[in-house]
Structures are given as structure tokens and as C-alpha cells.
């Protein structure tokens, strides 16, 4: 039995997402809710800042919480860490670097454990980078080239493929037209892009989604786009 995918544009562990999280916590299989916070995307910075926020947030909402410090590719295969993920029924990958997150968890015991939780009917949530990597493709920062510093740019990378024909664009309400064009450049025509606003989540099974939170999700199919505000539903072909 497949579980629930949660794609958050930004705002993990903040009060703006509390109403959404209350609803999600009430739907976990085999309660009580046991949340595993995986801050790998921020491991190059300060992952404990994210886990401290997450612990406080979910404990206020009545859940059990365990930070799981998967910091790199080596720790992603640590049996004690993947075991902690397996004990949960709600996994949350926080924001940071999507490229580093992919490098760290692809084909690892920790990712296999997350999939196990999901296939047991649990919740697999990601915010920003944590949401981006769940699609078939994702944007990562372009590799540094020799010579003078280059302007910030993106390149495509293969995602984890939980939603094979989907691309997730978080912080969508902060994108101007120029940045959106750059983000979509080279996007395969058979892919669907979900532009998820901050403090907003697309919640569903990978095919059918409901928009929850403060704002909206914009769905791009080819050159056409449709904006779905909170409370509305959409389907991905």
C-alpha cells in the first residue's frame, strides 16, 4: 500500500505549516505519529538547526520525533540510522542543497528505508531540496568550472524517481519570469512541473494531489500552466 507524498515549497517546521502538519499527523498508519527528520540537504551547513526546529515543532503538535543525522554517503548506509528511519511512520527531508542530498542518499540504505516507510502507507515529506529530489529530474547548481567565478546557474540531474515524470520547483512565488524561464530551460516535453509556493504543500499519492497551506501550486504541462489554490485538487497524467 503506497503512502502519502508531501511536497512543501518552503516553511518547514514554522507556524505557517502547523495546520497542514496537524492534518498529516492524524493520517499516519500505526499511530502514534513517529517523525524522522532527515536534514541531509543541509549537512554542509548546520543540520542541527533544522532538527532542533523540527523537534520543537512536532512535539508541540503531539508527535514523537527523532532526528536522523544522515550527513553524507557513508552515513546514509549506517544501519543504526536507516533503522531509525524504519521505526518511523512519517519521514521529513528538510531543505538545503538538492545536489548534495542526491549524492548522499541515492541507492543508499537510508533511501531504501524511506521507501519502505512510504510503501507501508507512511508519509514521505520533503521541503525545498527535500521535495525537489523526489521527482524524475531536478535542478542542481552547475558544477564549478576552472577560472573566475561564474554566475549562478542550474543543470539537470536525475532525481530519485518517486514521481518519474515530475519536476518540483519550490519557492515558486519568489520566481520572476526570467528565473522561471531559466529553470524550465531544457525541460523534457513529457514532464510535468509543479511550482509549489512557500508555506504551501502538494499532498497526494504521486498522481492525485490536494493543495494545502497558505497559497497555491502551479502545474505546467508543456507551455500551458494552471494555478491551483489551497483546497483544490489536481491530477498528473
At 146 the pLDDT is 47
CA distance 39 to 122: 19
Q: Kindly give, in sequence order, each residue whose CB lies less than 8 Å from that of residue 48, ignoring residues fewer than 6 positions away.
A: 39, 67
Report how far apart, in Å, the C-alpha atoms of 181 and of each of 112, 151, 223 are. 34, 16, 11
Instruction: Return mean pLDDT, the chain.
Output: 94
Arithmetic mean of pLDDT, 208-230: 97
DSSP state of 178: H
Q: Which of 29-38, 152-161, 179-188 has the lowest mean pLDDT?
A: 152-161
| pLDDT, position 42 | 97
The DSSP letter of residue 67 is E
What is the SS3 assignment for 134?
Answer: coil
Q: Model's pTM, two decimal places? A: 0.94
In contact, 133 and 204? CB cutoff 8 Å: no
Is residue 147 pLDDT above 70, yes or no?
A: no
Decide: 205 and 235 in contact? Cβ < 8 Å.
Answer: no
Task: Please check the confidence at residue 100 and state whether its pLDDT lies above 90.
Answer: yes
By CB neighbour count within 10 A (0-12 exposed, 13-18 middle, 19+ buried), where does 144 fall? exposed
**For residues 164 and 192, is the Cβ–Cβ distance under 8 A?**
no
Amino acid at each position: 500500500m503506497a503512502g502519502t507524498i508531501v511536497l512543501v515549497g518552503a516553511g518547514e517546521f514554522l507556524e505557517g505549516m502547523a495546520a497542514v502538519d496537524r492534518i498529516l499527523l492524524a493520517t499516519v498508519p500505526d499511530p502514534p505519529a513517529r517523525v524522522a527528520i532527515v536534514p541531509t540537504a543541509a549537512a554542509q551547513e548546520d543540520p542541527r538547526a533544522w532538527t532542533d526546529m523540527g523537534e520543537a515543532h512536532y512535539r508541540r503538535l503531539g508527535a514523537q520525533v527523532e532526528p536522523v543525522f544522515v550527513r553524507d554517503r557513508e552515513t546514509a548506509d549506517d544501519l543504526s540510522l536507516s533503522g531509525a528511519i524504519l521505526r518511523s511512520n512519517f519521514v521529513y527531508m528538510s531543505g538545503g542543497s538538492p545536489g548534495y542530498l542526491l549524492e548522499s542518499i541515492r541507492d543508499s540504505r537510508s533511501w531504501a528505508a524511506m521507501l519502505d516507510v512510504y510503501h507501508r502507507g507512511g508519509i514521505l515529506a520533503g521541503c525545498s531540496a527535500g521535495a525537489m529530489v523526489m521527482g524524475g529530474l531536478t535542478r542542481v547548481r552547475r558544477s564549478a568550472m576552472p577560472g573566475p567565478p561564474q554566475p549562478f546557474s542550474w543543470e539537470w540531474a536525475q532525481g530519485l524517481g518517486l514521481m518519474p515524470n515530475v519536476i518540483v520547483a519550490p519557492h515558486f512565488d519568489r520566481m520572476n519570469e526570467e528565473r522561471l524561464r531559466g529553470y524550465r530551460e531544457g525541460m523534457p516535453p513529457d514532464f510535468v512541473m509543479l511550482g509549489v509556493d512557500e508555506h504551501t504543500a502538494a499532498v497526494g499519492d504521486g498522481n492525485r494531489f490536494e493543495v494545502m497551506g497558505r497559497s497555491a501550486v502551479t502545474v505546467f504541462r508543456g507551455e500551458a500552466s494552471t494555478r491551483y489554490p489551497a483546497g483544490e485538487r489536481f491530477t498528473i497524467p
